[in-house]
Structure 1
Amino acid sequence: MPYQTTSAEDFHRSAKKDQFEAPDYYLLDELLSEEHKLVRDSVRSWVKKELSPIIEDCAQKSQFPHHLIPGLAEIGAFGPTIPAEYGGAGLDYISYGLIMQEIERGDSGIRSAASVQGSLVMYPIYAYGSEEQKAHYLPKLASGEYMGCFGLTEPNHGSDPGSMITNIKDMGDHYLLNGSKMWISNAPFADIAIVWAKDEEGIIRGLILEKSMEGYSAPEIHNKWSLRASATGELVFNNVKVPKANLLPGVKGIKGPLGCLNQARYGIAWGALGAAMDCYDTALRYSKERMQFGRPIAGFQLQQKKLAEMLTEITKGQLLVWRLGVLKNENRASPAQISMAKRNSVETALNVAREARQMLGGMGITGEFPIMRHMMNLESVVTYEGTHDIHLLITGLDITGLSAFA
């Protein structure tokens, strides 16, 4: 494969069995189709078998488990809503959400890799690309033969991507690309990159870059405390010659990358709840087994308060993303509705993780349990694809009609 593989034997497999049971206090399974449940259960089974046993070692060693890429492709995690004619699974948006939920229940960094591949690389090629681009790239991305990344954020332009300085110049038979991007998931091993740059008129355009192009480099960012099992890097463009055939012809302006971000934010809204569900399930199970003062700590009022509040917030989040999925299937979900769900789910997950960590006491900070890893990961999830505050202001703009951005 084009990326450097890491053998599964390189990772220590924990003997502990993944006993996760998903909370469903309001019987939301009754709102799901048989196909939805089949998709979810198959991904859950894969996570328990392939991801859970190795993820703590990956995080501790700060290594992305490349050997999982074929498996992620097999369970339909790469572009699940892309039509089958282009290699995708042709699933609906509730199925897509459930896939992200189950993968992030395992680890946010692995879900990030899948989200980038499907929402930020495959989606723009499908939505904005030429037929030739779709036919060439999408099947390879769906199978994991190619891995991709998405270049929008710059060192000095995060929440204000419209001020980007990365640019292209028309050189007749090609474009000349210069600039850089920062905090890019999958960048160190990506075979292609969807890059957003301004043309000579200041209009944002999307391009497909291949890692073999001269002047294109992707140095890895090290020493992260968060998303340690995810590969993060920069994208640096030094007079990169980009063929004109690699320009995405179907979109101009900031609406191009924002359309991609809406896809990713939708997946995060479901995914973050998966992390919350894992923390809750861990705390519940631990509280029934941990004895203090002669009885399980689950019998004490303050611990029951924590568990009841966790479950309440998770249940509210589940109802929110399910309704959002229905609207998305009907092509009626607005960007502001997606922002609300993303912000709510991540806040819920952060609060649940912190409460769950306290319930486990000192054990909560160890790699014997997933909670501290989730906590650290969520500190990135609350920032990327639009910060917590930016999503609040998107909602504020939508309900007042007045922009707080300028």
Structure 2
Amino acid sequence: MSQSLTQLFALDSLLTPEEIEIRSTVRKFGEQRIRPHIAQWFEQAALPVRDLAAELGSLGVLGMHLDGYGCAGMSATAYGLACLELEAVDSGIRSLVSVQGSLAMFSLHHWGSEEQKQRWLPPMAAGTAIGCFGLTEPDFGSNPAGMRTHAKRDGGDWVLDGTKMWITNGSVADVAVVWARTDDGIRGFVVPTDTPGFSAPEIRAKLSLRASITSELVLDGVRLPGDAMLPLARGLRGPLTSLGEARFGIVFGALGAARDCLEAAIDYTRSRQVFDKPLAAYQLTQAKIADMALEVGKGHLLAYHLGRLKDRGELTPDQVSTGKLNNVREALDIARECRTILGANGITLEYPVLRHANNLESVLTYEGTSEVHQLTIGKALTGEDAFR
């Protein structure tokens, strides 16, 4: 963040030296390793996932908020700051890390057997194995309880059939955590992607999150051994707890995209001459910048507060919904406003703002749409469930 904006809210005074160091390390990685290539990756709708995963693993950010099994065991706030710096470059990079660490790895870490943890978590933390998380279905996004994917017993085995949709990392994953309906309710399964009957066709022609691999998962008679089930996850609590972890990262991550847009806009206004003076010298321009800076700063304060609550074990799902709803919604508004400041230049990949805006359209609706989070907050405040 620009020095003046940092000082405006005295944000660094709220962080520990270790957290500032982690933030700086991830920011340096993003600026040096990813930013020079991200516009090209976005335009080509391609991402070198395996190379990046290995580098992110070496950096220590994959599952960094988990303990043991090769994970860094960092604080929730430190993890959030890493998400913020990665999304400042592109939401697709943060999505890679979020799905790997907060969905697939967290599910294994929190709900898996010791054998499952030992088999998968160390290589996933190192980035040598890639995971994905299969919950959303073509007809069931906001209502996962309606899922049709099912797992049936056949002797000592499980046989899975069904389809999952909008799965980040799906076609490049080595292992999928798949949620399915059983006679005993919804359960999670660890599915090696080389299992016969498993396929993951990539979803193409996207206008958002183009620097991210998105796939469908097709399970056609996928036969798994009896111990493939996550033993400690029963019902929707399993996948929803994992989603809460991913949503927490988004609370921070969206601010990275907003900050990057604002910094790009401020730099542009200083050099762009309009009617013989810099665009930055106009009152309307400064009013836009001031309003956006307030929202970025307030979003940071909210994220830091939620991070401290999570580190103390006090964070609730409705508080996560509050952070996700506010910060993503404001980040998208900021990206759009910054585009207006850049004018026609704002629609090109020379500047990051419309790329961020397009990405944030997806971030706004995944891991819970705005409407879902509004109803979650509404239920917390009124005591009434208005989902149906």
Q: TM-score range by the shorter chain?
A: over 0.9
- Give the TM-score, by structure 2 length: 0.98
Answer yes or no: is 1:251 the counterpart of 2:251.
no
Percent identity over the alignment? 45
Show structure 2 runs of 5+ residues with no match: none
**1:138-287 map, 5 Å:** 138-201=121-184, 203-287=185-269
Separation of aligned partners in 2, 1:157 and 1:94? 32
Counterpart in 1 of 2:73?
Answer: 90
Deviation sequence 1:326-367 (CA, Å, 0-9, x none): 000011000000011011110111011011000000000001
Separation of aligned partners in 2, 1:221 and 1:95? 32
Deviation sequence 1:77-136 (CA, Å, 0-9, x none): 2101111x3111110000000000000000001110110000001001110011111111
Answer yes or no: is 1:309 the counterpart of 2:274.
no
Q: CA offset at residue 259 of structure 1?
A: 0.1
The match for 2:116 among 128, 133, 139 is 133
Q: CA offset at residue 268 of structure 1?
A: 0.3
Separation of aligned partners in 2, 1:190 and 1:199? 24
CA contact (8 A) 1:268 1:342 kept: yes
Separation of aligned partners in 2, 1:145 and 1:296? 49
Amino acid at match of 1:230: S
Deviation sequence 1:211-254 (CA, Å, 0-9, x none): 11000000000100000000000000011001111110012000
Amino acid at match of 1:314: V
Separation of aligned partners in 2, 1:337 and 1:388? 14
SS at match of 2:125: helix
Which segment drifts farther, 73-82 or 392-401? Answer: 73-82
Show structure 1 runs of 5+ residues with no match: 1-19
Counterpart in 2 of 1:62?
Answer: 45
- Give the TM-score, by structure 1 length: 0.94
Counterpart in 2 of 1:77?
Answer: 61
CA contact (8 A) 1:280 1:310 kept: yes
CA contact (8 A) 1:216 1:237 kept: yes
CA contact (8 A) 1:50 1:68 kept: no
- In terms of fraction of residues, the more helix-rich structure is 2
Amino acid at match of 1:186: N
Separation of aligned partners in 2, 1:181 and 1:318? 34
SS at match of 2:9: coil
Amino acid at match of 1:290: R
Q: CA offset at residue 266 of structure 1?
A: 0.2
Deviation sequence 1:305-329 (CA, Å, 0-9, x none): 1100000001110000100000000
The match for 1:355 among 306, 326, 337 is 337
Amino acid at match of 1:207: F
Answer yes or no: is 1:292 the counterpart of 2:267.
no
Q: CA offset at residue 171 of structure 1?
A: 1.1
Q: CA offset at residue 65 of structure 1?
A: 2.4
Amino acid at match of 2:141: G
The match for 1:395 among 356, 377, 384 is 377
Q: CA offset at residue 21 of structure 1?
A: 3.5
Q: CA offset at residue 144 of structure 1?
A: 0.7
Counterpart in 1 of 2:93?
Answer: 110
- Structure 1 runs of 4+ aligned residues shifted over 2 Å read 20-23
Counterpart in 2 of 1:33?
Answer: 16
